[in-house]
Each structure stands twice: as structure tokens, then as C-alpha cells.
Amino acid sequence: MEYEAVIGLEIHVETKTKSKMFSDAPVDYNAAPNTLVSPIDLAHPGTLPLVNKKAVENAIKVCYALNMTIDETLYFDRKNYFYSDLPKGYQITQDKRPIGKDGYIDLNVDGKITRIRINRVHMEEDTAKQLHIIEHSLVDYNRAGIPLIEVVTEPDIRNGKEAAKYVEMIREIVTFTNVSDGKMEEGSLRCDVNVSIRPVGREAFGTKVEVKNLNSISNVEKVVDIEIARQKAVLEAGGVVIQETRRYDDGLKETISMRVKSSAVDYKYYPEANLVPIYIGRDFIDRVIATCPELPTTKRTRYEDEFKLSQFDIDVLLANKDVCEYFDQTVKFTKNYKIVSNLISGEIAAFLNKNQQSITELKVEPANLAKLAEMIAGGKISNKQAREILEHLFEKNQNPELVAKSLNMVQISDEGAILTLVNSVLDENPSVIEDYKNGKDRAFGFLVGILMKKSQGKINPSMASSILKQEIEKR
């Protein structure tokens, strides 16, 4: 029996704002416990929610990146349940009218493009953080109320690789648009997957199993594939997949059941009466979109179509928002995209790695890197020389042309000078000319060698080659 997997993902993103979703308490991930709390966050009686404009803007940017239809009016609902980390006994969320609906994202997995439909994007608030120690749990409300954006896909994903790629793309989107740090390890991007399998060709979905709180992108791929395999094994053994929530155990490398879903929890959703509908309007939305940093998908297209970079190069650049930013800055000064890309992913990456630095600490200014690229492209310096110059730039930001000069590296590219040198070499080696004329190709290389030696390696190789050819024909 051939099975196919049907997978949907729910991602929660903690967004970067100065204050919380519904209160003006500050947001800071490194503060001492309970030092960033307002009475609103503690659900003190009589407090009322105050919607954060920046949080709305962040949500709009994500909707835009995912091609969603964006609602011009904001509606909020209550999700009612009791838990130790939920101060109000309900969460303010968007149930009936999410800010974004009916969007999509195109995944490129090994060259194959798959479109994943996005069902909804909505705003809600984060819960408090709990620390479990021995006999007690301690609750820290710094996190309570931080703005969250939830992104829910249709069950269009089919395997672990697609799932991982999808999460990667969401991470790219939220980091590039400056909406979030998107760090799964830190909890600013959280992922739950819903996995079911069905026989190929059947329309009806199988039983859905939820796997919660995966903490890295590689785990997403791993866990999805493990869960698919587990469900397959259950069915093949004649069993039935139980609807439940599971979690991934990294030690055992398997998913473990957390709780069986006897029936769906009743959250008694109903509209939040402390928030009248808020009309934001098309103009507001357009302004947010206009001031949104370039989307990663747009960058990809630009790098591919305009800059003609390879998928690999593009992936490397987009893996880090700051690296990408640096690249964009550099190519403002030069059109040698491939060379710049190579410098960044090669020499510069190695240097940063060795010194445990991030590209934001790099001393080389984009304008100077661009100059270096130009020098390489123009044949003014060899790759080896470029590396040497770069070492100096790492120490101190300076004009690479000046460095080259000081290192006496300036390549001889003056036609007249090369002509003189060529003719002098030819004059000194008449027998080699004879050899060349008699069909001995190695003679040419020999002459080039002498040219290089005589000029201490400074002669422009390609020019030397062509002028030598030209002159030798004359003799």
C-alpha cells in the first residue's frame, strides 16, 4: 500500500516591538523576571487592552510576504481557557476575522517548485513563562502579552524536506522584514506540525496527529519524517492512528504521546467586547507595504534574474539577513555580482568564522569591497593578490587601490608598457620564436613565463597574452 503524507504547519512568531501587544509594558528578552509587567499583563480587574500599532504593521508585512488578502478592519476574539500561564483566563486573538487570509508561498525543493497555501495569519498575545523547579513552578510575566503572529498553512506539505524548507522560508520572511528574530532555539519562532497519512489516491484525510514545539529547522524535517514512518508502521501492522498530541524526544529520536484528544477543547470563542472594530484602511496597509524592507522572495528573483547568481549563492546570501544586507550595499557600487558574492561567501565568511565575528563587525566597508571586486574583474590584480589586499582591509578599512600600490602590486596594464616589455622579451629570445613558428606551442607559454618573471608578476596576464601573440605574428 502506497501512502502519502498530508502535513500542515502552525507557526507562532514573537515580533519585535518596543511594547507589548495590548499593553505598553516594555519588551526585552533579557530582563530579570517580572520587571516588564503592567497591570494589564497581570489581568488586574478593570484593565483594558490597547492594540499596538507596530504589532499590526508587523502582521501586515507578513501577510504581504505571503500574498494574503489583508483585512482593512481589525476584529478580535476571546479564546477562553484556564492555565497557570494565562493571566486573564482567556487569550485575546483573532478567530473569526484574521488579519490575513488565503495566501500562498512557493517552495523550491531541489529544483521542484511547490505552492503551499496559507490559510490564515492572525495576531494574538503570548503567555507567561514558567520555570519548573523541584516541587514548584515559577511564573514570569515578562513574556505575557508579547505580540505573536500565527501563520497556519493548508495541509499542502508532503514530506519533511518541504516542511523544513517552509519553516526556513518563514524564518527568512520574518527576519528580512524585521518583524522578528526568528530564532527557534530562543523561542521567537515556534512550530507545531499536524501530520496524517492516507493511501495514495484517496481524498479523505487520515487521522491527524499534532506534534508540538520543535526547536530547530533540522528537527522539523527529522520529526515529520519520523512521524510519517510511525503512522505508516501503525497502519501496516493493522492498527489505527489515534488522534493525539505528541512531542519529539531528541534522546530517543522518536515522538512521544503527550495527551490523547478525546474531543476538541471548547474555547468558547466569542468577540472581544473591550475592543471595537478598528478600521485601518487600504492607505495604511499600502504605506506599511511600501516601507517594508525588500522581501526575500523579491531578493531571490532579483539575484537570479538581474545578478545571475546561482541558487547555491543565493541560498548562502539569504541565510543571514545581515550578510544579505552587506551584499546589497556592496553591489550598489559595482556590477560584479558574482565576484562580490564569492568574496563574501569565501574569504570573508572564513575570516568571520575564524574570529567568531558577525558581518556587522566587519571593518571593510561595502564601497571598498566593491572596489576590490572591480580590480579583480578588470584584471588589475590576481586572485592571490586580492586575498592579500583583503587581509589588510580586515585590519583596517581602506581603499584597496592604495593598498595594492603600497604593496607594489599594481598590475601593468598599460598597452605601451606591455608592448615594450613584449618586444624586449622577443628580442632576447629569437630561438623560442623559431620554436613557436615551428609549431611548438609550449614555446608560447615559455615566453609568457619570462614576461611574468621580468615584470615580477605584475603584468596583466590576458593583455600580455594577446599582445605577445600579436607581436610574435609580426616577426
Partner 1 sequence: MDYTTLTIKELHALYVEGKVTPLEVVKQAIEKAKKDKTNSLEAVTFEQALEMATLLSATAVEVDNPLWGIPYFIKDNISTKGVETVASSNILKGYIPHFDAEVVARLKTKKAISLGKTTLDELAMGGSGMSGHLGRTYNPFDPKKERMIGGSSAGSASVVASGFVPFALGSDTGDSVRKPASYAGLVGFKPTWGRISRYGLFPFAPSLDAVGYFTRSVADAAILLDVLAGRDDKDLTSSFEKVEDYTKYTTSVKGIKIALIKGISDNISNPTLKEHYEQTLVELAKRGAIIEYVEIEKSLLNALFSTYFVISCAESTSNNANLDGVKFGARKEGKTYIDVIKNTRTAGFSALIKRRFILGSYSLKQENQELLFRRAQKARRLIVEAVNKVLTTHDFIYSPAAPGVAPLFDKKSDNLNIAHLIEDNHLVIGNFAGLPSITIPVCLDNGLPIGVNLTGRAFSEKALFGFAAAIEDITGLKNLQVEDK
Partner 2 sequence: MIKMNKDKLKELANDLLFDMADQEYDTLLKEFDELIALMDLLGEIPNVDRGEPMIFPFAVTNTYLREDEAGTPLTKEEFLSNTPDSFAGQVRLPKVVN
Binding site for partner 2 (CB under 8 A): 17-19, 23-27, 32-39, 42, 44, 50-56, 73, 82, 84, 130-141, 258-259, 271, 273, 276-281
Name the residue nearer to partner 2 (CB basis): 130 or 311: 130
Give residues with Cβ within 8 angstroms of 248, minimum separation 6.
Answer: 211, 213, 214, 219, 222, 223, 226, 254, 255, 256
Inter-axis angle of helices 383-395 and 366-377, nearest 10: 170
Q: State which residue, 199 or 281, has the beta carbon closest to partner 2.
A: 281
Q: Which does 18 bind (CB under 5 to 8 A by kind): partner 2, partner 1, none?
A: partner 2
> What residue 151 binds from partner 2, partner 1, none (CB within 5 to 8 A, per partner kind)?
none
Residue number with CB closer to partner 1 (45 or 201): 45
Does 84 engage in binding with partner 1 (CB under 8 A)? yes
> Does residue number 20 form part of the binding site for partner 1 (CB under 8 A)?
no
**Rule CB under 8 A: is residue 48 a binding residue for partner 1?**
yes
| Binding-site partner at residue 34 among partner 2, partner 1, none, CB < 5 to 8 Å by type | partner 2
SS3 240: coil
User: CB under 8 Å, gap of 24 or more: what pairs does 296-303 form?
Assistant: 296/65, 296/169, 296/172, 296/173, 296/176, 297/65, 297/105, 297/106, 297/173, 299/176, 299/324, 299/328, 303/337
Give min distance, CB of 285 to partner 1, in A.
Answer: 20
**Residue given cell 503512522 in the structure block:** 231
Binding mask 24-43 for partner 1 (x = CB under 8 A): ---------------x--xx
Rounded Cα distance, 174 and 184, in Å: 12
73 contacts partner 1 (rule: CB under 8 A): no
Q: Measure the CA–CA gap between 176 and 295, rounded to whole angstroms.
A: 6
Q: Which of 17, 20, 25, 49 binds partner 1 (CB under 8 A)?
A: 49
- Cα angle 319, 322, 323 (rounded to 5 degrees) comes to 60
Please, are residues 114 and 156 in contact by the beta-carbon 8 Å criterion? yes
Does 47 contact partner 1 by CB under 8 A?
yes
Question: In this chain, which of 109, 139, 258, 472 binds partner 1, going by CB under 8 A?
Answer: 139
For 362-460, where are the alpha helices, taking DSSP H only?
366-377, 383-395, 400-406, 415-428, 430-437, 442-454
Rounded to the nearest 10°, the torsion over CA 289, 290, 296, 297 is: 80
Q: Which is nearer to partner 1, 79 or 165 (CB)?
A: 79
Shortest CB 37 distance to partner 2, Å: 5
User: Contact between 416 and partner 1 (CB under 8 A)?
Assistant: no
Residue 174's alpha-carbon distances to 56, 109, 138, 170, in angstroms, are 14, 20, 31, 6
When the beta carbons of 55 and 217 are compared against partner 2, the nearer one is: 55
C-beta separation of 29 from 183 below 8 A? no
Site size for partner 1, by CB under 8 A? 32
90 contact choice in partner 1, partner 2, none (CB below 5 to 8 Å, kind-dependent): partner 1
Write down the least CB distance from residue 198 to partner 2, Å: 30
Judged by beta carbon distances under 5 to 8 A according to partner kind, the member of partner 2, partner 1, none in contact with residue 413 is: none
Q: Which does 43 bind (CB under 5 to 8 A by kind): partner 2, partner 1, none?
A: partner 1
Which residue is listed with cell 575570516?
Answer: 351
**Which CB sits closer to partner 2, 84 or 462?**
84
The answer to whether 147 contacts partner 1 (rule: CB under 8 A) is no
| Closest by Cα among 159, 166, 158, 161 to 191 | 166
Picked from partner 1, partner 2, none, the partner binding residue 109 (CB below 5 to 8 A depending on kind) is: none
Task: Calculate ∠ Cα 118-124-130, nearest 5°.
Answer: 115
Pick one of partner 2, partner 1, none as the site partner of residue 88 (Cβ within 5 to 8 A by kind): partner 1
| Residue from 325, 300, 326, 302 nearest 314 by CA | 300
CB of 3: closest distance to partner 1 in angstroms?
33
Residue 258 binding result from partner 2, partner 1, none, given CB thresholds of 5 to 8 Å by partner type:
partner 2
Three-class SS of residue 267? coil
Q: Which residues bind partner 1 (CB under 8 A)?
A: 39, 42-51, 78, 80, 82, 84, 87-90, 137, 139, 141, 266-270, 273-276, 278
